[in-house]
Amino acid sequence: MLEKFRRFELITPIWVDDFLRTSNRRIYAVGDVCLEHKFTHTAEASARIAVRNAPFPGRQRLSALTIPWCAYTDRAIADNEEASFVKIYVHERSDRILGATIVARHAGDMINEITLALVARVGLRTLARVIHDYPTQADAIKQAADA
């Protein structure tokens, strides 16, 4: 049984273009077989692109996606609120958000607000005006934007 898993790991990935087409332009590939980032949400997003591009080729690009990801740490470590932080990266001399790093118990939930801001091209000043429930961990995003 173990041999089957070893063979699977050696399979060459399927190469696709930015529209998720294989070398046969009528065949699309999605998910772990072709993506660099092997996340459930990237697989779902790539499937949506392929479904849209199949009847209308060339409408949606993989490179246009803003994909969040987080590393889940041991809950006992993350629960130490003193060690939590939010950093929001902006383009120099502007409020254009480039990304963020969040280390907190609920970082996986919190990063979605930053992802929405990136996709909607919401600037840091606008993000700072969002009212968050207090006290919540998500309020750290507003505090970082205020800073």
Distance of alpha carbon 87 from alpha carbon 103, whole angstroms: 9
Upper half-sphere CA count for residue 100 (Cβ side, 13 Å) = 30
Encode pLDDT of 48-73 as tens digits: 999 999 998 888 999 998 887 776 55
Q: Where in the chain is the domain with CATH 3.30.390.30?
A: 75-146
Give the type of residue at 124. Answer: L
Which CATH superfamily, name and number, covers 75-146? FAD/NAD-linked reductase, C-terminal dimerisation domain (3.30.390.30)
Q: Over the chain, what is the mean pLDDT?
A: 83
Q: How confident is the model at residue 5 (pLDDT cuts 50, 70, 90)?
A: very low
List Cα–Cα distances, 16 to 3, 42, 44, 76, 142, in angstroms. 28, 15, 16, 41, 39
Judge whether residue 8 has pLDDT over 80.
Answer: no
Q: Are 19 and 52 contacting, i.e. CB atoms less than 8 angstroms apart?
A: no
pTM above 0.85, yes or no: no
Residue 71 sits at φ, ψ, to 5 deg, of -105, 120
More confident residue, 23 or 140: 23
Lowest mean pLDDT segment, chosen from 2-16, 32-46, 76-90, 98-112? 2-16
Burial tier of 55 (Cβ tally within 10 Å: 0-12, 13-18, 19+): exposed
Q: Model confidence over 87-118: pLDDT tens digits?
A: 999 999 999 999 999 988 788 888 999 999 99
Between 141 and 114, residue with greater pLDDT:
114
Per-residue model confidence (pLDDT) at position 71: 64
